[in-house]
């Protein structure tokens, strides 16, 4: 059975914003992304169910699923109408998890469609009320997972929900997990998957002074973004950090770059690649050096950095250059990387006052960009549009996702050819000295 989404009378995708939210397993590995879609805040006649269909159509037939989630599984929240009208059968069963609110016992239409989908090997996730009763056995039997939004639950309510739902499924997912403390509690209660922004939130319970080695590295990185740095000063900054220099040269000499000759020194790397490319790769390497943090934290840092940069290029009135915008987005997760309040992190970093107020207070042009990005990540489009009116955030977001995924995939050796191709197609029309095999700046 198949249904052509293109035949459906849904509105254009520009009325809908697309974002993604990672789902982690118990070992902090990303096992999928839920697609988030919201309607334009400016349309009073907006139909959310029509928007759902529109964004799915555009993602699977226009933008391309790989541009949004790479090779991960896409978790897609479907409306009852979308199911009943049979559109779900047009989606690729091997690339999606279909999330649907657990239907009422007497909703035979939805139940029939769900059973048909299960017979065709579609994975179904039941979004259930944490306070409500379990779905019946027939639904649980065909469900790939059960998801509970736990963000607003009291500790007692969370324990009761876990006690009721955990024995019923081998894949219980907690959504709304926005703090490390809530993540820890959900793990203890037997949840198997975790969705939320816990990974880019500092663990204030175990906050500590930043390690000296990390501060040295971050200080070097911040210095590299100085607008007045000369070629020789740039070289000295990297060479002072022996660990960073070694990892940078080892990486640049890896098979991914396929450089015409072995790079023996930082100076040679700068001559071949240029300051901007070396800066970006040095940043990526330094960010990924924290083994105890989820890889998604590095992806988020790069995504925010790239998206801030793209926004900065489109704000000619801003006094800061696009590199400064990139720095603000990149460093917006440094408190989470070091489990230290942002105020303390910034004390050790030689950033400009404009960058500091952007990171701390979300003020100024760079602060507006960062605030809009964080709002967009959470699906809060009204707030994003207030900060950056008239900007097509969806287009810029997809571009930044492609760049960040390609950069991180190249770093750990995943899908090198795919990463290079994705990056080459997403240079935003600007070539500023990067070699073809590097991720464009």
DSSP 194-224: EESSGGGS--GGG--PPPHHHHHHHHHHHHH
Contact criterion met (CB below 8 Å) for 157 and 182? no
Instruction: Categorize the per-residue pLDDT at 382 as very low, low, confident or very high, splitting at 50, 70 and 90.
Output: confident
Q: How far apart are alpha carbons 172 and 170 in whole angstroms? A: 6
- pLDDT at residue 429, rounded to an integer: 40
Per-residue model confidence (pLDDT) at position 415: 47
Q: Mean pLDDT lowest for which of 24-28, 170-174, 423-427? A: 423-427
Question: In order of start, what are the domains of the chain with their CATH numbers?
Answer: 5-201 (3.20.20.450), 212-424 (1.10.3210.10)
Residues 350 and 361 sit within 8 Å (Cβ to Cβ): no
Q: Looking at residues 344-368, what average pLDDT do you find? A: 89
Selection from 361, 369, 360, 366 nearest residue 387 by Cα: 369
How confident is the model at residue 214, as a pLDDT?
63
pLDDT at residue number 64: 83
pLDDT score of 41 more than 50: no
Q: How far apart are CA 331 and CA 319, in angstroms?
A: 19
pLDDT at 431: 37
DSSP 104: P
52 has pLDDT over 80: no
pLDDT-based confidence at 317, cuts 50/70/90? low
pLDDT tier, 160 (very low <50, low <70, confident <90, very high otherwise) = very high
What proportions of the chain, in percent to the nearest 5, are helix, strand and coil?
Answer: 55, 10, 35
Q: What is the pLDDT of residue 290?
A: 66
Lowest mean pLDDT among 61-75, 177-191, 312-326: 312-326
Tally Cβ neighbours within 10 Å of residue 393: 23
Token digits of residue 175: 């959504």
Residue 6, pLDDT > 70, answer no
Highest mean pLDDT pick, 122-126, 238-242, 256-260, 278-282? 122-126
User: Which has more pLDDT, 219 or 26?
Assistant: 26
Q: In 291-412, where does DSSP find H-type helix? A: 295-313, 322-331, 334-338, 342-347, 353-361, 364-377, 381-387, 393-411
Average pLDDT over residues 209-218: 62
Of 45 and 241, the structure prediction assigns the larger pLDDT to 241
Buried/exposed 97-134: b ≥16 CB within 10 Å, e otherwise: bbbbebbeeeeeebbebbeebbeeebbbbbbbebeeeb
Distance CA 269, CA 263 (A): 6
* Residue 396, pLDDT score: 93
Instruction: Identify the CA nearest to 146 among candidates 183, 215, 97.
Output: 97
d(CA 299, CA 330): 10
CA distance 433 to 376: 31
State residue 8's pLDDT score.
Answer: 38
pLDDT tens-digit series, residues 129-159: 999 889 999 999 999 999 999 999 999 999 9
pLDDT for 275: 86
- Any bridge partners for residue 169, and if so which? none
* Interval 383-441: pLDDT, tens: 898 999 888 888 899 999 998 888 777 666 554 444 444 444 444 444 333 332 344 44
Mark out the alpha helices in 25-75 (DSSP H runs).
Answer: 48-57, 65-69
pLDDT score at 391:
87
Note the pTM of the prediction, 2 decimals.
0.83
Is the backbone of residue 274 left (phi > 0), alpha (psi -120 to 50) or beta?
Answer: left
CA-nearest of 228, 388, 386 to 318 is 388
Average pLDDT score, the chain: 81
Q: Name the more confident of 212 and 229.
A: 229
Query: What pLDDT score does 314 carry?
Result: 87
pLDDT reading at 99 higher than 90: yes
What distance in Å separates the CA atoms of residue 20 and residue 3, rounded to the nearest whole number? 25
Mention every residue, 6+ apart, whose C-beta is less than 8 A from residue 266. 235, 238, 239, 245, 248, 249, 278
Looking up tokens 């779900």, which residue turns up? 88
- With a pLDDT cut of 70, the percent of the chain lying above it is 79
């Amino acid at each position: 059975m198949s249904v052509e989404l293109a035949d459906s009378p849904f509105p254009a995708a520009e009325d809908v914003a697309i974002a993604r939210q990672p789902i982690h397993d118990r070992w902090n590995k990303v096992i999928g992304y839920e697609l988030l879609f919201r309607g334009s805040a400016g349309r009073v006649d907006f139909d959310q169910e029509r928007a759902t269909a529109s964004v799915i159509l555009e993602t699977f037939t226009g933008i391309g699923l790989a541009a949004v989630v790479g090779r991960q599984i896409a978790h897609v929240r479907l409306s009852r109408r979308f199911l009943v009208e049979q559109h779900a059968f047009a989606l690729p069963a091997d690339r999606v998890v279909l999330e649907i609110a657990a239907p009422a016992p007497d909703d035979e239409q939805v139940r029939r469609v769900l059973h048909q989908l299960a017979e065709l090997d579609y994975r179904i996730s039941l979004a259930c009320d944490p306070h409500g009763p379990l779905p019946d056995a027939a639904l649980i039997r065909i469900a790939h997972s059960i998801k509970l939004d736990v963000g607003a639950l009291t500790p007692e309510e969370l324990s009761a929900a876990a006690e009721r739902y955990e024995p019923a499924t081998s894949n219980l997912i907690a959504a709304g997990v926005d703090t490390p403390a809530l993540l820890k509690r959900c793990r203890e209660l037997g949840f198997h998957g975790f969705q939320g922004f816990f990974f880019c939130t500092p663990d204030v319970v175990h906050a500590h002074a930043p390690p000296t080695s990390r501060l040295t590295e971050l200080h070097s990185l911040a210095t590299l973004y100085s607008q007045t740095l000369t070629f020789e000063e740039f070289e000295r900054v990297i060479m002072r950090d022996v660990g960073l220099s070694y990892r940078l040269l080892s990486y640049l000499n890896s098979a991914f770059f396929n450089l015409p000759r072995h790079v023996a020194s930082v100076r040679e790397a700068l001559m071949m690649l240029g300051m901007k490319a070396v800066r970006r790769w040095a940043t990526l390497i330094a960010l990924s050096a924290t083994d105890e943090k989820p890889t998604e934290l590095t992806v988020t840092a790069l995504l925010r950095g790239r998206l801030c940069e793209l926004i900065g290029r489109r704000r000619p009135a801003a006094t800061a250059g696009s590199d400064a915008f990139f720095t603000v987005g990149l460093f917006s997760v440094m408190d989470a990387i070091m489990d230290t309040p942002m105020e303390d992190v910034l004390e050790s970093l030689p950033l400009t006052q404009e960058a500091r107020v952007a990171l701390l207070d979300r003020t100024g042009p760079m602060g507006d960009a960062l605030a809009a990005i964080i709002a967009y990540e959470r699906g809060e489009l009204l707030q994003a549009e207030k900060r950056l009116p008239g900007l097509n955030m969806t287009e810029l977001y997809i571009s930044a996702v492609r760049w960040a995924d390609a950069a991180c995939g190249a770093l750990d050796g995943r899908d090198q050819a795919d990463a290079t191709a994705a990056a080459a197609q997403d240079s935003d029309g600007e070539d500023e000295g990067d070699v073809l095999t590097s991720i464009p700046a």
